[in-house]
Amino acid sequence: MKPLNPTLNVEVAIIGGGIAGLWLLARLRQHGYGALLIENGRLGAGQTICAQGIIHGGAKYSLSGQLSASATAIAGMPELWRRCLGGEGDPDLRAARLLADHQYLWATRAPTSQLAAFFASKLMRSRMEKVAGADADDYPPVLHHPDFRGTVYRLDEPIVEVASVLAAFAESHREAIVCNEGPVTLNADNSLTLRHADQPTWTIQPTCAVFTAGAGNAALPWATLQLRPLHMVMARGPALPGPLYAHCLGVSDVPRLTVTSHYDASGRLVWYLGGGLAEEGVQRDRHEQIRAARRELAALLPWVDWSQVAFATFTVQRAEARQPQGARPAEPSIIHAGRVLAAWPTKLALAPLLAERIEEILRTLGVRPHSANLQPLANWPRPAIAVSPWDREDLAWS
């Protein structure tokens, strides 16, 4: 008779090592839960590593002149993240890298763009400050140009280097993060089978299982989700006029262009472009999307020599709980069947709120803090950190 696999009992098994799973792991362990995170690829692979790193405070969701549900839900996130980045909150993220303490919202001279900025500034008064003409030296370097005629607001929204956030969690909670070969699925008794080459197979028996695997949550047939694609663009070259962290407003309540700045493994500056360009770009192929990006940048920043800049693109799927008409959820989403949960944060910035709500659900399910002995997995392989988009070797630059 074939011997049974050894069994490891934990209070919470977390399946999926993006920002949602890692933040949840840190919170639960801080509060005394025996939690184990299982990842079958690299930490952050998929949505998390492709995020622009903006810790939104709501301005982006107030451009219509109304304080949306999204703006309300996300309002406190910049201060919460700042405390953690400064070592004054839990989890301690002092090892993560802060790229910029704030970003900008930039309105063109178009009346609709100016009006959207005005509405947002009134609604977000405590977190959005107009940079007056006398303070033009405070503009981002690329906008500090005699031909610039727009209006600039400073937003209370920090930007983090996502890979460094993932690494900070991985280092702090290494003993509770393990690799699995292949997709992680539930057995009939809600246990999980942990496998890896050259390791004995284990049965993980959790009191509660939480799936934070983005699109991978579809492994649960009742966890209905939706995918909303983006066609992201990256620009690289010595002609880039310094770092930029900004939303440029257009004629809709979605920023015309959202720019964050990063340095690749060779030390080259990269502008990472999202916003309306990325949302509308899903209708375009790679070459069309690059042409659209060049046109947009040339129209908004005509004093830059864009002929000396190379571009690359890729698509990413945002996985979320299914919404009527495919709308973007305003808040984190959690679906559960008994003691199995599926969860999506919706935005990077909302991972702390998602973790808080999951812990509340655990308490209602009668799951209480109880330590787990993870020593049997001390030599188990640990997942690496996902590669940032600008360091991917499979992308063509042109």
pLDDT tens for the chain, residues 1 to 398: 345 899 999 999 999 999 999 999 999 999 999 999 999 999 999 999 999 999 998 776 666 665 566 777 788 999 999 999 999 999 999 999 999 999 999 988 877 777 666 656 665 666 788 887 656 678 899 998 999 988 999 999 999 999 999 999 999 999 999 999 999 989 999 999 999 998 999 999 999 999 999 999 999 999 999 999 999 999 999 999 999 999 998 877 789 999 999 999 999 999 999 999 999 999 999 999 999 999 999 999 999 999 999 999 999 999 999 999 888 898 999 999 999 999 999 999 999 999 999 999 999 999 999 999 999 999 999 999 999 999 999 999 99
Which H, E and C letters describe the chain, residue by residue? CCCCCCEEEEEEEEECCCHHHHHHHHHHHHCCCCEEEEECCCECCCHHHHCCCECCCCHHHCCCCCCCHHHHHHCCHHHHHHHHHCCCCCCCCCCCCEEECCEEEEECCCHHHHHHHHHHHHHCHHHEEEECHHHHHHCCHHHCCCCCCCEEEEECCCEECHHHHHHHHHHHCHHHEEECCCCCCECCCCCEEECCCCCCCEEEEEEEEEECCHHHHHHCCCCCEEEEEEEEEEEECCCCCCCCCEEEECCCCCCCEEEEEEECCCCCEEEEEECHHHHHHHHCCHHHHHHHHHHHHHHHCCCCCHHHCEEEEEEEEEEEECCHHHCCCCCCEEEEECCEEEEECCCHHHHHHHHHHHHHHHHHCCCCCCCCCCHHHCCCCCCCECCCHHHCCCCCCC
pLDDT at 42: 98
Measured between alpha carbons, how far is 136 from 134 in angstroms, rounded to an integer? Answer: 6
Helix (H, G, I), strand (E, B) or coil at 289: helix
Indicate the SS3 state at residue 232: strand
Q: Is 304 helix (H, G, I), strand (E, B) or coil?
A: coil
8 A C-beta contact, residue 97 and residue 161 = yes
Residue 158 and residue 81 in contact, taking contact as beta carbons nearer than 8 Å: yes
Strands 151-155 and 269-274: unpaired
Q: What is the helix (H) or strand (E) element at residue 319, kind and residue range? A: strand 310-321
Contact 319, 346 (CB under 8 A): no
Considering only CA atoms, which of 166, 153, 156, 219 is closest in space to residue 15? 219
Give the count of alpha carbons within 13 A of 374, CB side only: 23
pLDDT of residue 2: 45
Kindly list the distances between the CA atom of residue 30 and the CA atoms of 90, 92, 355, 370, 383, in Å, as whole numbers in the listed order.
8, 10, 12, 12, 21
Instruction: Enter the pTM of the model.
Output: 0.95
